[in-house]
Structure 1
């Protein structure tokens, strides 16, 4: 059973509300908020140098890039890197996004590069975006429709920002959303946990990485 990493933030009443309203079993009652699908695409959100930074405590990492998350990001990379290889081995397409801040005149600046540990392989798509959601102002929706995909597996950052915005837009466009919780991260622990809980309650399936891999293996059977 999935370990719900946000449980330590909930009051006893919070837990009772979640159970009494059925969020723990069915998610949101207004729409099909949880599902897995049979033809997923992996979305790798903004795994760039200025966001990842060096593998060091975050308070050191922000001295080079104010947006860097340091060891928080690298702890997630320890799971993202093998998950991407697993996905490729099971012929699940992998698509990347890069955020290009308005403060950068050069979209090819090295700060915006995806870090080598989880870099795209030859032929994999990299989508540039200007806002939080990978859907806003991009051709991602067209790519998903053309590929016949019914679900997205989202990894990367930040849980409360670009991951959340992308997950909500994916769900509202009719796609199932799956989040391997070890593969997403945020600079603030409380934001990470609460964002994951909100997504689980209303928009997405939040599972441990090995559970997601078991689902992917089941698709092949």
Structure 2
């Protein structure tokens, strides 16, 4: 059973509302928000140098890049790196996004590079974006439809920002979303937990990474 890392934020009334309204079993009532697809694509969101930084405390990391998360990011990388190897081994397609801020004149600036431990392989697609959602003004929807993908497994950052924006859009485009919670991160712990809670209630299935592996294995063996 999944450990819900946001439980410590909930009041007793919050817990009662979640149960009484059925969010704990069904998710959103207006659309299918917990559907596990049969042909998922793994989407790696914005694992770049200016966001990840060095493996140091976050308060030190922000001295070099104000957006860097340091050890917060690297703790997630410890889970993302083996999960990507697992997904590739099972034949899942892996696609990356890369945010290119308007403050950067050179899209090839080293700050924008995806960090080595989770870098794309030579034949994998990297989608450049300007705003939070990987769907906004990009080719992601076409890529998913061309590959007959019905869902996404999303890893990366930040939980409350680019991940959440992408997950909301994915649901609105009709895709299922699975979130391996150890493979996601945010610079603010409360934002991370609340972001996961909101997405679990309304837009996505949130699971422990081991459970996502079991789900992928069930697809391969089916």
TM-score (norm 2): 0.99
How much has 1:145 moved relative to structure 2?
A: 0.1
Within 5 Å, which residues of 2 pair with 1:120-199?
A: 120-199=120-199
How much has 1:138 moved relative to structure 2?
A: 0.2
Please give the alpha-carbon distance, in whole angstroms, between the structure 1 residues aligned to 2:220 and 2:61. 41
Please give the alpha-carbon distance, in whole angstroms, between the structure 2 residues aligned to 1:70 and 1:100. 20
Aligned to 1:6: 6
Aligned to 1:116: 116
How much has 1:122 moved relative to structure 2?
A: 1.3
Which string of whole-angstrom CA distances, capped at 9 and with x for unpartnered residues, describes residues 59-86 of structure 1? Answer: 0000000000000000000000000000
**Residues paired across the two proteins, number:** 221
Structure 1 residue runs without a partner (length 5+): none
TM-score (norm 1): 1.00
Aligned to 1:85: 85
Within 5 Å, which residues of 2 pair with 1:2-41?
A: 2-41=2-41
Residue 218 (1) aligns with residue 218 (2): yes
Residue 68 (1) aligns with residue 71 (2): no
Structure 2 residue runs without a partner (length 5+): none
Q: RMSD of the alignment, in Å?
A: 0.3
Please give the alpha-carbon distance, in whole angstroms, between the structure 2 residues aligned to 1:104 and 1:206. 34
Which string of whole-angstrom CA distances, capped at 9 and with x for unpartnered residues, describes residues 23-82 of structure 1? Answer: 000001111111111100000000000000000000000000000000000000000000
The alignment partner of 2:179 has SS state of: strand
Aligned to 2:52: 52
How much has 1:198 moved relative to structure 2?
A: 0.2
Please give the alpha-carbon distance, in whole angstroms, between the structure 2 residues aligned to 1:220 and 1:2. 22
Please give the alpha-carbon distance, in whole angstroms, between the structure 1 residues aligned to 2:220 and 2:157. 28
Please give the alpha-carbon distance, in whole angstroms, between the structure 2 residues aligned to 1:149 and 1:13. 39
